[in-house]
Copies of this chain bind each other. A is one copy, B any other.
Amino acid sequence: MVQIPNTPPSASPAPRSVPTSADVARLAGVSRATVSYVLNNTSAVRISEPTRRRVHEAARELGYVPHAAARSLRAGHSRMVLMPAPAIPIGPLYGRFINELQWALGRLDYTVVQYGTVAVQGDEAARAWAELRPVAVIVPGAGLGPQGVTVLKRSGARAVVTLGPASVEGAHTLLMDQAAVGHAAAAHLHSRGRRRIGVVVPEEAGLETFSRPRLDGARDALRGTGAAITELPLAYTEEAAARLAARWGDLGLDAVFTYNDEYAMLLMSALQDTGVRIPEDTAVIGADDLMLGRLLRPRLSTVHIELPSGRDLAALVDRAVRNPGAAPETHRVLGASVVPREST
């Protein structure tokens, strides 16, 4: 029986295997060493112009692209800066920060790679990152312990920087104290004469890292003042907000800190629908100072958050890479200042 090939030779030209520098050398009629010299413009070695041309020509013809893994294997190091990709879509604030950071590190000739952390936990994740032998690792949030730092350093990471609520043994830390946000918000409400203060706590998973400290900060600000805090769990849906608004009278609150501006908008909308006057009946303050707060009516008071510039963090990383022996720095980098507008 005659077999008819299902892919005729003409249709799928036998997939030439990926060209290597040896292929380039062969085609140009030189050695692999010469190819390497030419393509890397090695200054310690002089190659004649005709040879250079032949090598470039051959590389172009074959579509040669060097193999990064082979190169860094040989070199013994890379300039890869690894960041775990955030597990949950984080706000525009953080997005901008990341972008600026990427740009700044790029300027310093590092390659930034965001690694898809697929639900791997702390020290488990650290191992996975270590396999890539990054020169530096930047870890947002909690979740990396001293163990993880050790693993990373042991496998050659010259800098480990965490961005989070607490400093980690052995790592540089950009201390982002979310409690300061809650503190500022609560203090502001108190200064406005409010005494029965609600604090919205999002029910969405993954937000506890932010919401818990913000709540604690608010508690802290009011300690000993006689003002009382009521925790208000709230899912990010209209229905949940309406339900909360429906029992607003029973709660007897004269102010609410809504975790952030988006929850503020959600709750304000529901409160206004049920006739609660803002700020007369209830003052509302959000956080993050997003554009939407300026667009709400009444205009939303909020806590403006000052993140470090991406350039600064890039500089810290670069310093740490150049001098891995230096003692870990801890910088308190989260500035929280109230922007009073019409809603309080």
Tell me the A residues contacting B by CB distance below 8 Å: 7, 11-12, 15-16, 18-19, 63, 65-70, 72-73, 85, 87-89, 92, 95-96, 99, 102-103, 105-107, 111-116, 118-119, 127, 130-133, 150-151, 154-156, 236, 238, 262, 265-266, 269, 272, 291-292, 294-297, 324-325
Is there contact, CB below 8 Å, between A96 and B92?
no
Task: From the candidates B63, B72, B116, B151, name the one contacting A113 in the complex (CB within 8 A).
Answer: B116
Please state if A130 and B99 are interface contacts (CB–CB under 8 Å).
no
Given the interface pairs A89-B92, A99-B89, the reply to whether A69 lies near B73 with Cβ below 8 Å is yes
Residue of B nearest to A118 (CB): B106
Q: A70-B73, A291-B266, A295-B269 are in contact. Are A15 and B116 (CB under 8 A)?
A: no
Q: Which residue of B lies closest to A241 (CB)?
A: B295
Shortest Cβ-Cβ A-B pairs, 6 listed: A106-B118, A89-B95, A112-B116, A114-B114, A69-B69, A68-B131
**B113→A115 contact, CB < 8 A:** yes
Contact present for A155 and B113 (CB under 8 Å) = no
Contacts of A70 in B (CB 8 A): 69, 73
Chain B residue nearest to A273 (CB atoms) is B297
How many copies the complex holds: the figure is 2
| Complex CA–CA separation, A130 to B63 (angstroms) | 11
17 additional contacts (CB under 8 A) given A107-B118, A265-B295, A269-B297: A11-B325, A12-B325, A15-B325, A19-B154, A65-B130, A67-B73, A68-B69, A68-B132, A73-B73, A87-B99, A89-B95, A102-B116, A106-B118, A112-B116, A114-B114, A262-B291, A265-B292
Query: Which B residues are CB-close (under 8 A) to A292?
Result: 262, 265, 292
Are the CB atoms of A63 and B154 closer together than 8 Å? yes
Once the chains are docked, how many angstroms separate the CA of A296 from the CA of B99?
30
Q: A133 contacts B69, CB within 8 Å?
A: yes
17 A-B pairs within 8 Å (CB atoms) are namely A7-B325, A15-B325, A18-B133, A19-B154, A65-B151, A65-B155, A68-B132, A69-B72, A69-B132, A69-B133, A73-B73, A85-B112, A88-B99, A111-B115, A112-B115, A262-B292, A292-B292
Contact A65 B127 (CB under 8 A): yes
Q: Is the CB of A18 within 8 A of B63?
A: no
Chain B residues positioned under 8 Å from A66 (CB to CB): 131
By a CB distance below 8 angstroms, the chain B residues around A111 are: 115-116
Chain B residues whose C-beta falls within 8 Å of the C-beta of A67 in the assembled complex = 73, 131, 133
Contact of A114 among B68, B113, B297, B324 (CB under 8 A): B113
| A297–B238 alpha-carbon span in the complex (Å) | 13
Q: Is A294 within 8 A of B63, CB to CB? A: no
State in angstroms the CA–CA spacing of A133 and B71 once bound together: 12
Complex formed: what's the CA distance from A95 to B94 in Å? 13
Q: Are B15 and A131 in contact (CB under 8 A)?
A: no
Given A73-B70, A114-B113, A118-B103, A150 contacting B87 (CB threshold 8 A) = no
Question: Which residue of A65, A105, A266 has the most chain B CB atoms within 10 A of its CB atom?
Answer: A65
